[in-house]
Amino acid sequence: MADEVQRVYVASVDEEGGNSLALGCFSKEETAWQVLRTFLKKSDQMLLKSSSVVVWDIDVIGESGVTVLSTMECKDCPVCGRRTFWMDLDNFSALCHGDACAAWVEESTVEPGVIDCGWPPIRFLKQAKDIDEAFKELFKIGDQMKAVAQVDTLTDNQPQEMLEEFENQSSNESSE
């Protein structure tokens, strides 16, 4: 006879409007996480605010039958700018689930009090003394990527025109 299921794992997301979407009820934790991660890759297409994975013990009445494994909040990614950056505030970690981004921040597992951050597409890895500094580093990369994208869309003579305009403004400001 097959083993009876003693607990189930429920993945869900909450929309900004207050609606909650259940993504499924699973007999294995890893399945719940796989379903949630797959769904979070599309989070920039919806107005999501949070997500969670919860464990329910079968045949247990009341609050003692439920355990919240993780609750994550959705933010705009400091690198790609899409609303695909999910932060787990209980076990501080954050990861962009957007395609080709995967920017991340987490507490160091090796050095207590140190925050690690990175952006895999360029193999960027940095250690910071606090969360604010880690996010500043990721925002710098995001700003550089946006600047490169803007330069790539310029016509051949636009950079020279912009330089001349900047020099004219600088000389006007210094003469005043």
pTM score? 0.73
Confidence (pLDDT) at 112: 85
Is 101 strand, coil or helix? coil
The closest alpha carbon to 50, from 80, 70, 69, 28, belongs to 70
> pLDDT tens across 121-163, in order?
888 899 999 889 999 999 998 988 887 777 666 666 766 666 6
The residues near 134 (Cβ < 8 Å, ≥ 6 apart) are 105, 115, 116, 117, 126, 128
Q: What is the mean pLDDT of residues 95-114?
A: 89
Q: Residue 55 — very low, low, confident or very high, per pLDDT cuts 50/70/90?
A: very high
